[in-house]
Amino acid sequence: MLDLNRLRVLAAVARHGSVTAAANELHYSQPSVSHHLARLEAETGAKLLQRVGRGIRLTEAGRVLAERATEILGRVESASAELDAHVGLSAGRVRVAVFGSALVALMPEVSAELASRHPGLRLDLVDTHPPEAIAMLRAGEVDVAIVFRYDETEPDPPGLRLTHLRDDPTYLLTTDDRGQVAEHRDERWVAGCLRCRSHLVEVCNREGFEPEIAYTTDDMVAIQALVAAGMGVATIPGLALRAHRNLDLNAYEVPGAPRHVYAATYGEPPDPPPTAALLDVLVSLA
């Protein structure tokens, strides 16, 4: 059986890319870290590290084991928290990774309702994009990930369970009364980063054109400011519009282009009591 302390050492080395930095984080001596790594290699029968000049790097086997080690250690921490809360919801915490517009538009109400139902339960929030939220969930760093999916989004990794919360409409933002995406084929567009603009491109492609993206920002307030200044047009999700609305703009719902908002959990049911309590609140307010 693999030793958890040695897995913790390997995960720290993978995070920092250095024995010295891993030793500092874990409050171990460098020889102690090297000893744990050597024992782990002996236990697994695999070469996990490779010398590169004066430093080290993980082999492919080391990288795979380090990824699993991070997930295992996160699950151990989650299990400890679950046991602490097993006697009831008078104590404990639930950790949530959530994308920005849902953090602003949804989570204050969710937090208030959760506090009303379970005063002793602490809610910890992390603002991050869905791919990072899913990675944190799989690693056991959070208990729930609030994410969104479009119809064209790639399938989710195995082991993920999604609870549907709502369908969030997409809106076209303009300063005039042209409310159809196709009417703006010759306009310049404000869009998110390369990873975040795929839905805008898909919506425009369905109307038979490729958008000319002139300005790039993931800040929903900045997007509205740029459109209001006449620098282009944009699409924006409903939750983002609910979180902040520039009253100088017209917003027209784009038919058939919603994003689907889910609460994601990982592993087999039943969920731990704090996680189940949060899911109940999310569903009831959806």
Taking only the tens of pLDDT, the chain with its 286 residues reads: 677 778 888 888 888 888 888 888 777 888 888 888 888 888 888 888 887 767 778 888 888 888 887 877 777 766 666 665 555 555 678 999 999 999 999 999 999 999 999 988 899 999 999 999 998 898 888 999 999 998 877 777 788 899 999 999 999 999 999 999 999 999 999 998 887 888 999 999 999 999 999 999 999 999 999 999 999 999 999 999 999 999 999 999 999 999 999 999 988 788 888 899 999 999 999 8
**Cα-based distances in Å from 201 to 107, 165, 189, 196:** 29, 25, 10, 10
CA distance 40 to 7: 8
> Buried b vs exposed e over 134-159: b needs ≥16 C-beta within 10 Å?
bbbbbbbbbbbbbbbbeeeeeeeeee
How many helices, marked H, and strands, marked E, lie in the chain? Answer: 11, 12
Total Cβ atoms within 10 A of residue 253: 13
